[in-house]
Amino acid sequence: MSDLLSLTFAALADPTRRAILARLSNGDATVNEIAAPFDMSLPAVSKHLKVLEAAGLITRSRTAQWRPCHLEAGPLKDADGWISAYRRFWEASFDRLDDYLRQLQAGDPEKTN
Amino acid sequence: MSDLLSLTFAALADPTRRAILARLSNGDATVNEIAAPFDMSLPAVSKHLKVLEAAGLITRSRTAQWRPCHLEAGPLKDADGWISAYRRFWEASFDRLDDYLRQLQAGDPEKTN
- pLDDT, position B111: 47
> pLDDT tens digits, residue range A54-105?
999 999 988 777 889 999 999 999 999 999 999 988 887 666 767 777 788 7
- C-alpha Rg value of chain B to the nearest Å: 21
- pLDDT, position A112: 43
- pLDDT, position A94: 62
> pLDDT tens digits, residue range A18-65?
999 999 999 999 999 999 998 889 999 999 999 999 999 999 988 777
Beta strands in chain A (DSSP E): 58-60, 69-71
ipTM: 0.81
- pLDDT, position A57: 97
pTM of this prediction?
0.82
Residues 6+ apart with CB under 8 A from B15: A1, A3, A5, A6
If interface means Cβ-Cβ distance under 8 Å, which residues of chain B face chain A?
1, 3, 5-10, 12-15, 18, 21-22, 25, 71, 73-74, 76-77, 79-80, 82-87, 89-90, 93
Are B45 and B31 in contact, with CB atoms under 8 Å apart? yes
Q: How far apart are CA B97 and CA B107, in angstroms?
A: 16
